[in-house]
């Protein structure tokens, strides 16, 4: 076996070429799932554009390709996917040896289409979503992510159910809504990645709270209790902590395709879990998951033989076990929580080592 | 396309300086000359990403921009040249670089406003380097005689000595309380000769030129700089939710004519 890049000999089982560092093509690969394996996507309606396209002359049939990231069928003449902004025609996004995939590359100023409107994603450190809303199209957002707007764009509030619960949970109480025509732009205040998540009719996604940048108004917004918590201190001083948030947002697009824009800290890594396949992640790193993915706390207890605190809660490592089937995403910048001094938790499994 | 007539020179799209045709980066502001401008459909121009180790010339000194995530401005001061800055942006310097203090009027007011009481001056010959405390971009603005620029307080990294530094009080109590930028803005005015001003913007920086009377609403924390001809006023947007009484969102209305610059990682302040 030889490296396809530099021609050096490669031994069986090697993942990278020792000469040039090129990844070895996994021809006779183990039961590894393929690099890109999004949930099956129903065939898409053609991407609507502002002006109806003239009928394609039969002499030059449009060549179509499939976007690796969101599954949209795209004209090969385009350089970016109009549904999610991913750069097309790049080398296939390689999964890490462990199965995590980075977000696809995105060209600065890549443009997404939704309804009759469009959205440009600008900048690479703290990306801005610059929306050009057509008349009648609208988006909603938490008011603190607004960066700038045309004076003509009207902002109104969107009523949310369960306001009391939301207020106590520290969730944004008011969602603001902006209606076209006009430009409005959003950004968060920390370096990270903007994740466009096109939602197919009938598709839903569970998102960590405060990750939303903006969504089209045809995307339904609901939330549920995560049931993931741990406690510190005892008696009257007991404090309950929610490492995944007390509530998680659920975005669903029941009838029409919708667009959801999220912002996560640092870099974002995604993988798809097979039915029953599990992975342990730090609870505060979870960004989103398919609703089919289940969550549970897991503790690991290092053996500190002979030490009097050997089995105390303070010496446990806290994990979130995610079980497939479905897609999960984590962020590389996340809150480090103090796992010591824990006195109890929601249902959890434990292992000693 | 480069104009053929102007002695085979190309004009920098960011600062309008003329450069030799073979140049890869503008000698006055460091912007790459061989990369097309990134202008959004809404009219914002993304500040040019300065290539690592690009050199910029001003009077008899040079500035090299190093690093990309949190860039460093390393100045090689010529004899007699000097730059001024707020002391907390200094990263390192050679021992021979002489330091002094810029004489300012209104120091008492400044101390109350939380602005740096002392603006430091470094005089060449020698090297001195500056950086800020967050991910962002260096914005190099060559200033020509007659230009006046207002900058968010604490956002300037350094300025060459040809530029006069002053500050303007932000007018109106609402603007001070809800404008998100305190009581003062830095104002940089050129006198007789051109100079260079280097800012640091958090995240990505975008610039837009507003026509006379044209306006745009900004998150006040996103404001970075503007020509002094541009006006800025805070307006409230009431976000009612009936039962809970709602909340107010403040936005800055910025009206042309002139340039306005914003940063995408805004300094967020709380709503009322």
A125 has a chain B CB within 8 A of its CB: yes
- Per-residue model confidence (pLDDT) at position B107: 54
Confidence of residue B198 (pLDDT cuts 50, 70, 90): very high
Closest-CA residue of chain A to B249: A143
Q: How confident is the model at residue B105 (pLDDT cuts 50, 70, 90)?
A: low
Query: 3-class SS at A299?
Result: strand
Spell out which residues of chain B touch residue A180, defining contact as CB-CB under 8 Å. Answer: none
pLDDT at B200 over 60: yes
Is B107 touching A (CB cutoff 8 A)? no
pLDDT in tens, A315-335: 678 899 999 899 999 999 988
Distance (Å) from the alpha carbon of A185 to chain B's nearest alpha carbon: 10
Query: Does B104 or B224 have the greater pLDDT score?
Result: B224
Q: Which residues of A touch B244 (CB under 8 A)?
A: 163, 167, 173
Is B268 part of the contact surface with chain A (CB cutoff 8 Å)? yes
- Per-residue pLDDT at B65 exceeds 90: yes
Tokens standing for residue A175: 């969602």
Amino acid A187: pLDDT:
95
Residue-wise pLDDT for B126-163, tens only, equals 999 999 988 999 999 999 998 899 999 888 999 999 99
**Residue A344 contacts B, CB cutoff 8 Å:** no
CB count, 10 Å around CB of A248? Answer: 24
Chain A residues close to B39, C-beta within 8 Å: 109
Position A336 scores a pLDDT of 84
Q: What is the pLDDT of residue B235?
A: 86
The token pair that represents A267 in the structure block: 């870099």
CA distance A151 to chain B (A): 6
Asked if B38 lies within 8 A of A122 by C-beta distance, the reply is yes
**Residue A317 CA: distances (Å) to CA of A209, A234, A352:** 23, 20, 10
Chain A CB within 8 Å of residue B46 CB: yes
Please say whether the dihedral angle defined by the alpha carbons of residues A280, A281, A283 and A288, taken in this order, is positive or negative: negative
> Is the Cβ of B223 closer than 8 Å to some Cβ of chain A?
no
Contacts of A127 in chain B (CB under 8 A): 204, 264
For residue A214, which of A176, A173, A180 has the smallest C-alpha distance?
Answer: A176
Which of B68, B137, B201, B217 to probe the A interface (max A CBs under 10 A)? B217
To probe the interface with A, which of B35, B203, B231, B240 has the most A CB atoms within 10 Å? B203
- Asked if A122 and B206 come within 8 Å (Cβ–Cβ), the reply is yes
Are residues A134 and A116 in contact, defined by beta-carbon separation less than 8 angstroms? yes
Task: Provide the pLDDT for residue A52.
Answer: 43
Q: pLDDT value at position A304?
A: 61
CB atoms inside a 10 Å sphere around CB A90: 12
Q: What angle do CA A307, A313, A314 make, to 5 degrees?
A: 70
Residue A332: predicted pLDDT: 93
Q: For position A242, what pLDDT does the model report?
A: 93
Cα–Cα distance measured from residue B3 to residue B9, given in angstroms and rounded to the nearest whole number: 7
DSSP letter at A23? B
CB within 8 A of B227, min separation 6: which ones? B147, B148, B149, B150, B257, B258, B259, B260
Q: Which of B61, B81, B74, B76 is nearest to B123 (CA)?
A: B81
Dist CA A54 CA A65 (whole Å): 20
- At B245, the pLDDT band (50, 70, 90 cuts) reads low
CB contact under 8 A, A191 and B239: no
Of A334, A335, A166, A316, nearest to A230 (Cα)?
Answer: A316
CA trace torsion B186, A123, A215, A112 (10° rounding): 140
Instruction: Give the span between the Cα atoms of A149 and B182, in whole angstroms.
Output: 23
> So what's the pLDDT on residue A61?
52
In order of A71, B46, B142, B256, the CA distances from A38 in angstroms are 8, 33, 49, 48
Chain A with chain B: Cβ pairs closer than 8 A? 117
Report whether the peptide linkage leading into residue B231 is cis, meaning its omega lies within 30 degrees of zero: no
pLDDT tens track for B209-224:
999 999 999 998 899 9
CA distance A29 to B227: 61
What is the reported pLDDT for B258?
95
A163 touches B: beta carbon within 8 Å: yes
Check if the beta carbon of residue B124 is closer than 8 Å to that of residue B78: yes
Q: Are strands B61-66 and B72-77 parallel, antiparallel or unpaired?
A: antiparallel
Q: Is B110 helix (H, G, I), strand (E, B) or coil?
A: helix
Helix, strand, coil shares, percent, chain B, to 5: 10, 50, 45
Q: For residues A156 and A145, what is the distance between their CA atoms, to the nearest angstrom?
A: 15
Residue stretches of chain A with pLDDT short of 50: 26-60, 310
Helix (H) or strand (E) holding B187: strand B184-190
Q: Which of A127, A173, A191 sits opposite B241 (nearest CB)?
A: A173
pLDDT tens-place string over residues B169-179? 776 666 666 55
In the block, residue with structure tokens 């390709």:
A65
């Amino acid at each position: 076996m030889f490296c396809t890049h530099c021609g050096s000999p490669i031994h069986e089982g090697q993942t990278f070429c020792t000469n040039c560092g090129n990844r070895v093509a996994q021809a006779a690969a183990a039961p590894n799932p393929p690099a890109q394996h999004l949930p099956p996507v129903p065939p898409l309606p053609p991407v609507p554009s502002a002006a109806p396209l003239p009928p394609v002359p039969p002499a030059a049939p449009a060549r179509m390709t499939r976007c690796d990231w969101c599954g949209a069928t795209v004209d090969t003449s385009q350089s970016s996917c109009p549904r999610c902004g991913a750069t097309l025609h790049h080398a296939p996004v390689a999964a890490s040896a462990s199965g995590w995939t980075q977000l696809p590359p995105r060209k600065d100023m890549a443009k997404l289409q939704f309804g009759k409107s469009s959205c440009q994603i600008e900048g690479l450190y703290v990306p801005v979503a610059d929306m050009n809303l057509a008349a009648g199209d609208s988006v909603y957002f938490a008011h603190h992510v607004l960066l700038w707007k045309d004076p003509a764009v009207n902002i109104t509030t969107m009523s949310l159910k369960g306001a009391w619960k939301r207020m106590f949970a520290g969730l944004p109480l008011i969602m603001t809504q902006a209606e076209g025509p006009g430009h409005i732009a959003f950004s968060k205040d920390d370096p990270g990645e903007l994740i466009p998540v096109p939602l197919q009719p009938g598709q839903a996604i569970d998102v960590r709270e405060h990750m939303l940048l903006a969504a089209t108004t045809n995307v339904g917004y609901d939330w549920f209790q995560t049931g993931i918590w741990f406690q510190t201190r005892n008696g009257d001083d007991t404090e309950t902590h929610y490492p995944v948030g007390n509530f998680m947002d659920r975005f669903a697009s029941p009838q029409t395709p919708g667009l959801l824009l999220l912002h996560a800290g640092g870099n974002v890594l995604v993988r798809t879990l097979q039915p029953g396949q599990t992975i342990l992640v730090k609870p505060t790193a979870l960004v989103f998951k398919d609703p089919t993915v289940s969550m549970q706390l897991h503790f690991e207890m290092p053996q500190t033989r002979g030490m009097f605190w050997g089995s105390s809660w303070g010496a446990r490592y806290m994990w979130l076990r995610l079980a497939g089937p479905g897609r999960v995403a984590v962020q590389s910048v996340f809150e480090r929580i103090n796992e010591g001094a824990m006195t109890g938790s929601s249902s959890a499994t434990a292992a000693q080592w | 396309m480069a104009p053929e007539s102007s002695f085979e020179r190309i004009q920098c799209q960011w600062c309008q300086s003329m450069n030799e045709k073979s140049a890869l980066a503008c000698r006055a502001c460091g912007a790459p000359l061989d990369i097309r401008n990134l202008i959004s459909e809404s009219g914002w121009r993304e500040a040019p990403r300065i290539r690592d180790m690009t050199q910029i010339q001003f009077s008899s000194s040079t500035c090299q921009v190093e690093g990309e995530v949190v860039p460093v401005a390393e100045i090689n001061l010529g004899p007699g040249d000097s730059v001024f800055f707020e002391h907390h942006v200094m990263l390192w310097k050679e021992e021979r670089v002489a330091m002094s203090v810029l004489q300012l009027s209104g120091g008492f007011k400044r101390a109350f406003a939380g602005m740096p009481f002392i603006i430091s001056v470094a005089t060449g010959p020698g090297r001195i380097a500056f950086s800020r405390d967050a991910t962002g971009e260096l914005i190099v603005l060559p200033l020509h005689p007659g230009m006046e620029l207002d900058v968010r307080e604490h956002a300037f990294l350094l300025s060459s000595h040809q530029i006069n530094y002053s500050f303007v009080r932000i007018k109106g109590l609402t603007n001070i309380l809800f404008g998100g930028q305190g009581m003062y803005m830095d104002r940089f005015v050129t006198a007789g000769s051109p100079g260079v001003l280097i800012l640091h913007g958090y995240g990505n920086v975008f610039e837009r030129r507003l026509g006379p009377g044209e306006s745009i609403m900004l998150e006040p924390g996103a404001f970075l700089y503007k020509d002094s001809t541009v006006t800025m006023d805070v307006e409230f947007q009431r976000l009612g939710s009936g039962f809970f009484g709602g909340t107010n969102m403040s936005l800055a209305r910025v009206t042309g004519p002139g340039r306005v610059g914003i940063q995408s990682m805004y300094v967020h302040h709380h709503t009322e």
